[in-house]
């Protein structure tokens, strides 16, 4: 039987979480960094609890969503 290695992942600060999210969600070809999308994004990033993979995945998912309605659907899910 093989043993599994486990790694302790450190949580990101609120600032680092937001920076990582912005790199993914607002990158070239993504939605514009408007006040509405920033507000929605910050709310969702906070719910990720500083977990890097969660922030990265969320940003990647929202990158392809171009409307406020799509962002709201994800926020409310």
Question: Residue 69 phi/psi, 5° resolution?
Answer: -60, -40
Q: What is the pLDDT of residues 7-58, one digit of tens each?
A: 888 999 999 999 999 999 998 877 888 999 999 999 999 999 999 999 999 9
Structural domain contains residue 43: yes
Structural domain contains residue 2: no
- Global confidence as pTM: 0.86
Q: Is residue 17 classed as helix, strand or coil in its secondary structure?
A: helix
Degrees, nearest 5: CA angle 28-69-50: 65
The pLDDT of residue 33 = 87
Query: Under the phi-then-psi rule, with left for phi > 0, alpha for psi from -120 to 50, and beta for the rest, what region is 12?
Result: beta
Residue range(s) defining the domain that contains residue 37: 14-75
Total domains in the chain come to 1
- Quick check: 1 pLDDT over 80? no
Q: Name the residue with higher pLDDT: 3 or 73.
A: 73
DSSP secondary structure of 44-76: HHHHTTT-HHHHHHHHHHHHT--SHHHHHHHHT
Structural domain contains residue 31: yes
């Amino acid at each position: 039987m093989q043993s599994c290695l486990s790694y302790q992942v450190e949580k990101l600060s609120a600032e680092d979480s937001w920076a990582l999210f912005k790199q993914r969600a607002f990158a070239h070809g993504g939605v514009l960094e408007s006040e509405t999308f920033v507000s929605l994004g910050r709310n969702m990033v906070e719910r990720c609890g500083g977990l890097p993979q969660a922030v990265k995945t969320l940003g990647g998912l929202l990158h392809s969503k171009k409307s406020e309605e799509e962002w709201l659907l994800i926020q409310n899910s």
